[in-house]
Amino acid sequence: MFNAQPIGFIHSSYRDPADIPKGLGAKHEAVGEIELLAEFAPGLADIEGFSHLYVIWEFDRAVGFDLSVRPPTDKSRAHGLFSTHAPRRPNPIGLTVVELLGRDGARLRVAGLDMLDATPVLDIKPYLSSIPEQKLRRGWLAEAEKAGKAGKRE
């Protein structure tokens, strides 16, 4: 148990959850900034060498949680919360992989944001390795994508 405190904040163009691309095929290519509080900036040393970062952040505008959700990628069926990235969770923690474009002191310019402007950042870690695509199974999401494509063909 600990009290989660912001180490910085997101600067993005998303002011409202409705602005954020969602659903099947949604692409997160938004460019913006992660600005760390000045006291934490020394922790960014050497980060420029990494192409991608994990950003761990707080869903600070989510209230409460449901263990069963209908995500925008598959409104036809409910799924267990932990099988989704839905915002309303027991611990309101978000996780996003961003591409690091550059750094200016305490500010990281990044691509791939899917957070609202002013979202509190809890942690940043380097993205070190990928699971090979051929080893990856993506459960209900792969099924929903298949159904979506089949639907489009009709």
- Residue labelled with tokens 């305490």: 106
Q: Which of 22, 75, 125, 146 binds its own copies (CB under 8 A)?
A: 125
Q: Does position 144 bind its own copies by CB under 8 A?
A: no
Q: Specify whether the CB–CB gap between 12 and 113 falls below 8 A.
A: yes
- Cα angle value 23/53/121 (rounded, 5°): 80
Q: Does position 84 bind its own copies by CB under 8 A?
A: yes
| DSSP code for 119 | P
Q: Looking at 17-25, 39-47, 146-154, which segment touches its own copies (CB under 8 A)?
A: 39-47
Q: Which of 44, 70, 88, 118 binds its own copies (CB under 8 A)?
A: 44
SS3 153: helix
Which run of H or of E encompasses 145? helix 139-153
Residue 58, CB-side half-sphere exposure with 13 Å CA sphere: 15
Q: Does position 117 bind its own copies by CB under 8 A?
A: no
| Interface of this chain with its own copies, residues 85 to 114, rule: CB under 8 A | 85, 89-93, 95, 97
Positions touching its own copies (CB under 8 A) are: 1-7, 40, 42-52, 54, 56, 58, 67-68, 78-85, 89-93, 95, 97, 120, 122-133, 135-143
